[in-house]
């Protein structure tokens, strides 16, 4: 088995049950074809052990393959990035094909197409939803039409906050900029909190481009390494050991970082010096 395939973050094997594709590669009590499912919580932690420390997070609508269920938890593999781990079984529901993605920092799901109704829950940038019909307009004062809402099986979402999956974004940095000010959260993937690799995933996923879950895997898989001294440009990825960010322009770094405890943009040169001093690693520029 290739070394990358044995990475426990990507290996669809719970220690007891493995996906059938691993027959002959691992020793498991049981092999399974897996069960398609989707995340039905606004946000759920993906953990290496049941109720363990967060490794990553999965958003509403994310497709997963369930490999094992045990004591209120499910061992799953995320379809988008391949990351495996345990989630609360209650956070999962039947598989459903999404049609749209939340394209703003955050939005709300409502029980009716009426902005004055109490919201059901909040959804983050990147959440996946299934639109089931035409837009309906919220009532507004004086008989005017209010904002449009799109129906889903779970409620209504402002139409302006959704983008069809058939129309992916074209600039991942523009997507990442929508999360400026989001609190830093280790392993986070949402507007409620996000880390450096989560910010890269948010930008690339919105552009329908595959993206591994963690910065070391992203460093291996994303873009072409450029010679040292290459002038950076918007959209370049900058990697250090354990950290990654977007170049917002030739002189500005956009990244989720513990220095600001937030998604922030700052001049690249002093930021690079600070990170190099902390990480002991010179930056590497990658061009997607």
- Domain extent at residue 89: 3-94
- Domain identity same for 120 and 200: no
- Domain identity same for 80 and 28: yes
pLDDT class of 281 with cuts at 50, 70, 90: confident
- Domain identity same for 216 and 267: yes
CATH number for the domain harbouring residue 139: 2.30.30
User: How many structural domains does the chain have?
Assistant: 3
d(C-alpha 162, C-alpha 180), whole Å: 19
Q: Please, where are the H alpha helices in the chain?
A: 172-177, 196-206, 215-221, 268-279
Tokens coding 14: 């719970």
- Domain identity same for 208 and 279: yes
94, 109, 143: which is the final residue of a domain?
94
- Domain identity same for 11 and 89: yes
pLDDT tens for 103-159 read 999 999 999 999 999 999 999 999 999 999 999 999 876 667 899 999 999 999 999
Q: What is the pTM of this model?
A: 0.95
Check pLDDT > 80 for residue 168: yes
Radius of gyration, alpha carbons of the chain: 20
- Domain identity same for 187 and 239: yes
Strand order in the sheet with 284-287: 224-225, 284-287, 237-240, 243-249, 252-257, 262-267
């Amino acid at each position: 088995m290739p070394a990358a395939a044995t990475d426990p973050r990507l290996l669809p094997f719970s220690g007891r049950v493995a996906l059938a594709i691993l027959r002959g590669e691992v020793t498991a009590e049981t092999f399974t074809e897996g069960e398609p499912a989707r995340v039905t919580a606004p946000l759920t932690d993906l953990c290496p052990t049941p109720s363990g420390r967060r490794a990553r997070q999965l958003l509403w609508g994310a497709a997963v393959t369930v490999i094992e269920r045990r004591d209120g938890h499910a061992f799953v593999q995320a379809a988008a990035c391949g990351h495996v781990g345990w989630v609360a079984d209650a956070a999962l529901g039947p598989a459903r094909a999404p049609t749209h993605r939340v394209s703003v920092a955050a939005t709300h799901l409502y029980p009716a197409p009426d902005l004055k109704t109490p919201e059901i829950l909040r959804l983050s940038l990147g959440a996946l939803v299934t639109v089931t019909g035409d837009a309906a307009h919220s009532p507004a004062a004086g008989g005017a039409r209010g904002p449009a809402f799109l129906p889903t099986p779970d409620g209504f979402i402002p139409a302006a906050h959704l983008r069809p999956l058939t129309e992916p974004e074209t600039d991942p940095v523009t997507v990442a900029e929508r999360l400026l000010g989001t609190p830093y959260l280790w392993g986070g993937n949402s507007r409620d909190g996000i880390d450096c690799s989560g910010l890269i995933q948010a930008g690339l996923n919105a552009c329908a481009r595959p993206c591994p879950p963690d910065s070391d895997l992203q460093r291996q898989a994303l873009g072409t390494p450029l010679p040292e001294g290459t002038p950076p440009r918007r959209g370049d990825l900058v990697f250090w050991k354990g950290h990654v960010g977007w170049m917002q322009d030739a002189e500005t770094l956009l990244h989720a970082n513990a220095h600001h405890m937030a998604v922030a943009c700052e001049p690249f040169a002093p930021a690079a010096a600070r990170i190099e001093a902390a990480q002991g690693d010179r930056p590497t520029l990658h061009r997607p």
